[in-house]
Amino acid sequence: MDPRSLHERIAADLRAQILSGDLAPASALPSTAQLKKRFDASNATIQKALQLLKNEELVVGRAGASVAVRARRQRTVRPSSYLAAGASGTPSRWLAETDDEAPSARSELLDVAECVPPADVRAALGTGEPDLAVRRRQLLLLGEEPAELVTSYYPAALARGTALAARRKIRGGAPAVLAELGVPPRRCVDRVSARVPTQEEHRLLRLPTGPPVLRTPRVSRRTVSLAAPASRR
């Protein structure tokens, strides 16, 4: 038996319909009376379920009007598209890939620094605890809405003295620099998981209360045996 409270179960069913497209963007949700009948629930329980969806910014509601699905298109992310280098002098592949859907796609460079990377990144790079890496952190936005928080690590011996270590955006993206260095990424492995966001992620991504974040550690390699950048999304 599902141990969740009734309003959480109702919200889960409606959320699934929204994310699948059965309840389309900008369409009205069933009325409170219809939801009460469908779920055999009280008015208060239905309102608690709808409030959960409002907190997640999946639906919007105004006094005297029906509750509607938020008018926002779902976007398909194709990480493999970002592996190849962009043409010289062009924006990064992430910006070019999203341009057709969101002409105002842009990135904000948050930080570039040398540091001892976390244990999982050290394992991916094949380095020890004293070894430094160059860390680049950026926020990717669609319009004014944050979409991804990306932290990339490069072996310091590889990145020092290159655009990877400079505190400025890289035209064509990091793959263009790696290609110039003779170590173009040719293979990547993504491992996707979901977890509760950290305080920093909650602030930078401007998240509503409730939803988890998708964490996608990516290891890009020149060949099967040579580690190149390690990214944490």
- Predicted confidence (pLDDT) per residue in 15-56, tens digit: 999 988 899 998 999 999 999 999 999 999 999 999 999 988
In a domain, 146, yes or no: yes
Same domain, 53 and 156: no
pLDDT, tens only, 128-172: 778 899 999 999 888 888 888 999 999 999 999 999 999 999 988
In a domain, 1, yes or no: no
Q: What CATH number does residue 104 fall under?
A: 3.40.1410.10
pLDDT level of residue 105 (50, 70, 90 thresholds) = confident
- Tell me the mean pLDDT in the region 112-116: 95
CA distances from 132 to 110, 118, 125 (A): 19, 10, 11
Please tell me the pTM assigned to this model: 0.73
Q: How many CB atoms lie within 10 A of CB 219?
A: 20
In a domain, 166, yes or no: yes
Structure tokens that stand for 107 in this block: 């990135």
Overall domain count for the chain: 2
Q: Between residues 86 and 228, which one has the greater pLDDT?
A: 86
How far apart are alpha carbons 59 and 20 in whole angstroms?
14
Element (H, E) at 68: strand 68-69
Query: Beta strands 187-190 and 106-115: pairing type?
Result: unpaired
In a domain, 160, yes or no: yes
CA distances from 77 to 81, 83, 95, 97, 167 (A): 9, 13, 12, 9, 26
Same domain, 161 and 207: yes
pLDDT of residue 229 exceeding 50: no
pLDDT of the residue at 128:
74
Q: What CATH number does residue 36 fall under?
A: 1.10.10.10
Q: How many CB atoms lie within 10 A of CB 66?
A: 13
Same domain, 63 and 14: yes
- Tell me the mean pLDDT in the region 58-86: 71
- Tell me the mean pLDDT in the region 183-200: 87
Q: What is the mean pLDDT of the chain?
A: 83
Q: Between residues 127 and 160, which one has the greater pLDDT?
A: 160
Closest CA to 120 of 189, 182, 186, 179: 189
In a domain, 74, yes or no: no
Structure tokens that stand for 64 in this block: 């005297």
- Tell me the mean pLDDT in the region 200-209: 89
Residues of the chain with pLDDT > 90, as a percent, come to 44
- SS percent in the chain: helix, strand, coil, step 5: 30, 25, 45
Instruction: Please identify, among 44, 69, 94, the residue that sits at the C-terminal boundary of a domain.
Output: 69
Structure tokens that stand for 216 in this block: 């996608």
Same domain, 127 and 223: yes
Q: Between residues 5 and 87, which one has the greater pLDDT?
A: 5
Residues of the chain with pLDDT > 70, as a percent, come to 81
- Tell me the mean pLDDT in the region 92-107: 62
DSSP tally for the chain: helices H, then strands E = 8, 10
Closest CA to 39 of 1, 67, 5, 3: 5
pLDDT of residue 86 exceeding 60: no
- Tell me the mean pLDDT in the region 85-98: 57
Q: Between residues 18 and 127, which one has the greater pLDDT?
A: 18
CA distances from 105 to 100, 110, 143, 146 (A): 9, 16, 6, 10
- Show the domain range for 215: 79-232
